[in-house]
Structure 1
Amino acid sequence: MSEIRKPIIGLVSCKKELAGYQIQALNEFYLQAVKDFGGTPIILPSAIEADELDRVLAVCDGLLFPGSHSNVAPHRYNGAHEEKKKDEGRDELAIQLIRRAIDMNIPCLGICRGFQEMNVALGGSLNPAVHESGFDDHRESESKDFAEKYAAAHPVFVEKGGTFEQWLVSAQWTDTEKFQVNTLHNQGVETLGPTLRVEAKAPDGLIEAFSLPGQKYFVGVQWHPEWAAKQNHFSQILFKEFIMSASQ
């Protein structure tokens, strides 16, 4: 009896400094979430060259673009502000992977920075400080207790006729109009990429999730579903659908 093949999920890593060394790093929350829902995670560093992407994508059944404390460089979307927390290597790798994955219909999940990368890759722009632009303060708690930092902070309202509503109806949720999410970001969507479809918004109107119609799975969320994913009902749906799409 042959074993069930687990889909290989490539996760983009970030440039960090540790004790004077430049390293590539990735929060294990993302790796664990992929494993918990049946995927095999592999880390994709920014050292990957453009002419190597096709070989990398031939190995990956799905791609996950995680959050980070760095931000997409403003010049990627014609932003006029200065940005100190940049990771240009990650920008280049992620944006190229996103565009090629769409052409190849490879399932993609973007989380926080990854959500923002998806929007930029598809022609959208970002707001560098939503709390200074008429929106609520979506920044993370300064608590060192992860349970408090990643605790539910506000609801998101599900757009009618979208993928999220279909998922919630299929899961027989009592309330298919909203659910609670955490919040750990200061940037957000300014203008949405023209081909993207809004899936959910925060109470202040900020876009919190989108999808790309016509793809097996192309979903971005502004919150962090990887935290305690096995215990959160919507995170379960999000990751199960992702891994299932990558298995096809």
Structure 2
Amino acid sequence: MGDSDLKKNKPIIGITSTILDIEIKGEVNPSVQTNHQYVKAVNEIGGIPIVLPVINKEIAKEYADICDGIIFASGEDINPSNYNEPPLKELQKTNIARDEMELPLVKYALEKRIPIMGTCRGLGVINVALGGSMKQNIETKERLISHNQEISRKLPSHNVTIKEDSHLYQLLGVNSALVNSKHHQAIDVLADSLRIAATAEDGTIEAVEAIDKDLFILGLQFHPEELYSADTNMLNLLKFFRKACGKDN
């Protein structure tokens, strides 16, 4: 089977990344980094995973031209200047170059009707790109739920309630799910073009989707790529995303 035949049968799914400085023998080497679990998950559901390096904002349009679907991966905090707020002291590491590439990539993808899914930071990227904002820090001792779990991300730590009028509920057929949680930020103002699909017990927005039914947008505060091997609901989430990307046999 040639390269062209392979592309006809499997959707190309881009996965965003960051730049990680790795020291080798005393020399710092900037490296492209994304969690390998995304790569494994895309392969598991029948897609071709390609990692999208941070280069510049101009490359975003070219990424949208070659991908059948895009996963906006986890990582650094989004710089609050992107939603016109000053940084709070609780703000953690940001990456301006990554923001500058990923925020327009959301818009280019939607212009081309490319399905997008965001997890953790990726949820925030989608919301901010579409005009929403973020709570820069939500972790306090008074919270009902610790959203920055101390156990592995491969284990769930709290429940989410799925709205029965959501597309997510129609896809999964369940009104609750167990999820993992490794974040200190969350959606504050929801973008006008999105609607809430799931929430945690403390009201934290855990999943969003497009109001426009012709667009496939799935933003998740949790990490299905870490849970799919042991949880049918998480595997089905990923499969529905892959199906939206097309090229099913």
With the length of structure 1 as denominator, give the TM-score of the two structures: 0.88
Q: How does 1:9-158 map to 2 (within 5 A)?
A: 9-19=13-23, 20-50=28-58, 52-68=59-75, 70-82=76-88, 83-132=91-140, 135=143, 136-141=145-150, 143=151, 146=152, 149-158=153-162
Tell me which residue corresponds to 2:235.
236
CA, structure 1 residues 165+84, in 2 after alignment: closer, same or farther (shift >3 Å)? closer
Identity %: 30
Aligned equivalents of 1:49 and 1:92: distance in 2? 5
Contact 1:130 1:137 in 2 (8 A): no
Aligned equivalents of 1:188 and 1:64: distance in 2? 18
Contact 2:56 2:97 in 1 (8 A): no
Q: Does 1:220 align with 2:227?
A: no
Q: Does 1:7 align with 2:11?
A: yes
Cα distance, 1:100 vs structure 2 = 1.0
Tell me which residue corresponds to 2:200.
202
Aligned equivalents of 1:247 and 1:7: distance in 2? 6
Q: Per-residue CA shift, 1:131-157, capped at 9, x if unaligned?
A: 23964321131x5xx4xx431111100
Unaligned runs of 5+ in 2: none
Contact 1:127 1:190 in 2 (8 A): yes
Query: What amino acid is the match of 2:133?
Result: S
Contact 2:110 2:215 in 1 (8 A): no
Aligned residues: 235
Tell me which residue corresponds to 1:173.
none
Unaligned runs of 5+ in 1: 170-175
